[in-house]
Structure 1
Amino acid sequence: MEIRKVNIGDIEKLKKIGKQTFAETFSFENSEDNMNEYLEKGFSTKKLTTELTDQNAAFYFAEYDGNVIGYLKVNFGQSQTEIKDENALEIERIYVLKDFHGKEVGQLLYQKAIDLAKERSVKYIWLGVWEQNPRAIRFYEKNGFVVFDKHIFKLGNDEQTDIMMKLELKKNNNS
């Protein structure tokens, strides 16, 4: 398995993996109309182009056998969705195809985010996770994240609650 940075030439692959993993993860708990609206807006070529060319955001693919099986999106500085802290990194997305759940793909993408945070010497990593996604909440808790707040995420016309979680990074050479 390989983790590699996504570039603008990968936009169609990013659109495909983004839509597929989001739908696999959330379509059962949401209306078809709300899902379709979010998938079209959230993964449009225009929006992804803007995100891919943002100096304070980065995407990484997890690839296996030449196929994209998951991806990571991180944000720094003013590109963070809520907390605009120069000393923080936001994990906006870690998504993995259902067929690869439980196969350490998410953990490898998560480790990439940790490595990026250490390279930038940020003090903490934060993220938002839907309160109805216990699998993701357990994943982050297992990795040392703690709940610090909540915020509203709109999926179509449905207001949903995201739990905001944070991981303080240790400041020593062995961390």
Structure 2
Amino acid sequence: MTPIHWRKAEPDDAAALSYLGAATFLSTFAFDHPGGPLIEHLDAEHSAGYYAAKLAQPDVDIVLGETPLGAPVGYALLMSPEHPQYQQEGDWELKRFYLLGPWQGGGNGRDLMAQAVEVARDRGAQRLLLAVYESNARAVAFYERAGFVHIGETIFMVGDVEFQDRVYAKTLV
């Protein structure tokens, strides 16, 4: 397996993040998400414009992982929390955490999580939140191994289709 180089994403990374985001979302969720709403979601939430807008926001951080040849293989997007019912002062949210399948395992997820936790701590976060699809057993197990604790539920929309997500928190201090 080729090593991953982690770095802060820059504005000119929007297209790479778009392709990576769409590829990972599609490969992870196509098993039980209807095609039309799934494509609608990819168009809205994984476009180059979406990532360009996120990269321009001062309260968003994106860690990008690349092969030695510069091919994008994973990323973590962190931002101000979007779960007000669970939010406490000092929270930060891990909004997206994706690795392409061939780079899953072998410690790459742990490395990306370490990068994400470091970014959150640099922001002064005391706790890191995330939401994960309840049927994504592999991701749920990974987050629990990483020290996240289940604190609630939320709805995640893919087009006009509702999916049940679990909300998790990890204390950082």
TM-score, length-scaled by structure 2: 0.91
Equivalent residue number for residue 63 of structure 2: 60
2:122 pairs with 1:119: yes
Equivalent residue number for residue 74 of structure 2: 70
Letter in 2 for 1:81: E
The question of whether the paired residues in 1 share the 8 Å contact of 2:130 and 2:168 is answered with yes
Where 1:29 maps in the other structure, the secondary structure is: coil
Equivalent residue number for residue 173 of structure 1: none
**Structure 1 residues 52-61 or 114-123, which shifts more?**
114-123
Where 2:125 maps in the other structure, the secondary structure is: coil
> What is the alpha-carbon distance in structure 2 between the residues aligned to residue 148 and residue 86 of structure 1?
16
1:105-144 mapped onto 2 (5 Å cutoff): 105-144=108-147
TM-score, length-scaled by structure 1: 0.90
Letter in 1 for 2:33: N
Where 2:83 maps in the other structure, the secondary structure is: coil
The unaligned stretches of length 5 or more in structure 2 are: none
* Alignment partner of 1:161 out of 142, 160, 164: 164
**How far does residue 45 in structure 1 lie from its aligned partner after superposition?**
2.9
**How far does residue 85 in structure 1 lie from its aligned partner after superposition?**
4.8
Where 2:154 maps in the other structure, the secondary structure is: strand
Equivalent residue number for residue 82 of structure 1: 83
Letter in 2 for 1:142: R
> What is the alpha-carbon distance in structure 2 between the residues aligned to residue 71 and residue 31 of structure 1?
25
Equivalent residue number for residue 23 of structure 1: 26
2:21 pairs with 1:8: no
Instruction: For residues 44-84 of structure 1, give each alpha carbon's deviation from its aligned partner in whole angstroms, at most 9, with x where no partner exists.
Output: 233222111010001111112222111110013xxx22246
Instruction: For residues 109-145 of structure 1, give each alpha carbon's deviation from its aligned partner in whole angstroms, at most 9, with x where no partner exists.
Output: 1101111222233211110000010111100110111
Q: Aligned-residue CA RMSD in angstroms?
A: 1.4
**Number of aligned positions between the proteins:** 167
Quick one: percent identity of the two aligned structures? 28
The question of whether the paired residues in 1 share the 8 Å contact of 2:78 and 2:120 is answered with no
1:33-52 mapped onto 2 (5 Å cutoff): 33-52=36-55
Instruction: For residues 22-60 of structure 1, give each alpha carbon's deviation from its aligned partner in whole angstroms, at most 9, with x where no partner exists.
Output: 111111111111111100111123322211101000111
Equivalent residue number for residue 94 of structure 2: 91
Where 2:30 maps in the other structure, the secondary structure is: helix
The unaligned stretches of length 5 or more in structure 1 are: 171-175
